[in-house]
Homo-oligomer: A and B are copies of this chain.
Amino acid sequence: MGATVKASPANFAADNGENGAGKVSVLNLAQNHDVHHQNAHTRGDPTMFGAYWEKMSEKGTITFTGAQSMSYYSNTKSICWFLEPELEREIRRLHGVVGNTVEEEHYVVVGTGSSQLIQAALYALSPPDADLPVNVVCAAPYYSSYPEVADIVRSRSYKWGGDARSYDRDEPYIELVTTPNNPDGAIREPVVNKPQGTVIHDLAYYWPNYTAISSAANHDLMLFTFSKCTGHAGSRIGWALVRDKEVAKKMIKYMEVSTIGVSKDSQLRAAKILGVVSDSCCSHGAEEGFEDEDEEEDFFSFSRNILKERWQRLSQLVKASNLFTLQKYPTQYCRFAKDMTDTLPAFAWIRMTSNEGGMDCAELLKEQRILARSGTRFGVDNKFARVSMVSTDQEFNTFLQRLAIIQGTNPIYI
């Protein structure tokens, strides 16, 4: 954890003026000269989506009067008594519109971001009085926070068990399957497949701006997060779709003890924003083929277009030298887009073509003040590093400029 490291909150360290390339576009970044903090969990700050919400600012506006939403309770008729009915409705509606999951037979459990729901799920899926902790595993490269999330409280019920690909014990385990995967955008399935195991599907990135929606996911326990869906990371809203009622009840119990529910203000705001996303898709779908310049673009197409352009620019730049390579992603049929679409992950998983002498990819990037996260944090080799693709335009442009310098590439490729 970089709690004491001086660094910028974005992917890029502040430009200190020594380098011509960054001068023009790092004005805002330069304000961060004296920041004290770099939180390793949040480098994927999805600020890119802000452009859509600026455009839709009025539709996405919500007002709270002083007397509103004061009680602990949201819905005493639901097993998830702290879940705002409006949020549940909009969650189910959006999944219906997008077609990324089957939700009809699942309970919705709301959490303070999906991090809290992972913990709730570990609590719910671990035997309550086991002598030995259950192993929590995930195939490498895995989301860098999983080991810490599993181990921070030193539970006797569960502990981090490492790379799922090398898990060969005949003991109870919980496998985390992130699909599309963070950091590398791969579509995944469970790899352990033993009878003693349960699986948590983290579907944070299973939205049509990032990947083709190839089928409606229908797993026992699926996690989603508002942050990655619409970009509203500051609201800290996540949700789980849980098939088994007893598992859902245990997760709810964890949320009760841990935080006595989840911010109502953020739940209601999330309901509003998800509603705007659904509306944007529906008004579009209803008039298919109708093209009017004034017509508002649906959220996912808007985001896709930005991401697509960014991926094209990055790919072109990387191809211009032999220093790095990027993952290759398939083009697949997307149920939502009703067309073949590209995979456009929220992160670039950059690999050094050669790292003779064990040179660290993230270190190399850092020399040009590109703050990437090293592959070692994701359980793999240091020739890999992860960089966010969903930062602001300014930050993304600075990233490309600095990468071009490292590559010694002609600026024409930026």
Contact = CB atoms under 8 A, between A and B. Distances in A.
Interface of A: 1, 3-4, 8-9, 32, 34-37, 39, 41-42, 45-47, 49-50, 53-54, 56-67, 69-74, 76-79, 81, 112-113, 115-116, 119, 123, 145, 148-149, 152-157, 227, 231-237, 249, 252-254, 256-266, 269, 273, 276
Residue among A53, A155, A266 with most chain B CB within 10 A:
A266
Given A41-B256, A81-B39, A66 B71 contact: no
A56 B152 CA distance: 42
Contacts of A63: 61-64
A41 B73 CA distance: 11
A154 B78 CA distance: 28
Residue among A32, A81, A256, A260 with most chain B CB within 10 A:
A260
26 contacts: A32-B76, A37-B81, A39-B81, A41-B257, A42-B261, A45-B71, A50-B70, A53-B66, A54-B67, A58-B66, A59-B66, A60-B66, A61-B64, A62-B64, A69-B235, A145-B257, A152-B258, A153-B153, A155-B155, A156-B156, A236-B264, A237-B263, A264-B266, A265-B265, A265-B266, A266-B266
A181 to B, nearest CB: 19
A78 to B, nearest CB: 7
A289 B128 CA distance: 61
A50 B69 contact: no
Given A71-B233, A235-B263, 15 more contacts: A3-B79, A8-B76, A34-B77, A35-B76, A37-B77, A39-B256, A41-B257, A50-B67, A50-B70, A58-B65, A152-B258, A153-B153, A234-B263, A236-B262, A265-B269
Contacts of A145: 257
B72 A233 contact: yes
A63 to B, nearest CB: 4
A126 to B, nearest CB: 9
A66 B57 contact: yes
A28 B152 CA distance: 44
B66 A233 contact: no
A8 B81 CA distance: 12
A155 B123 CA distance: 12
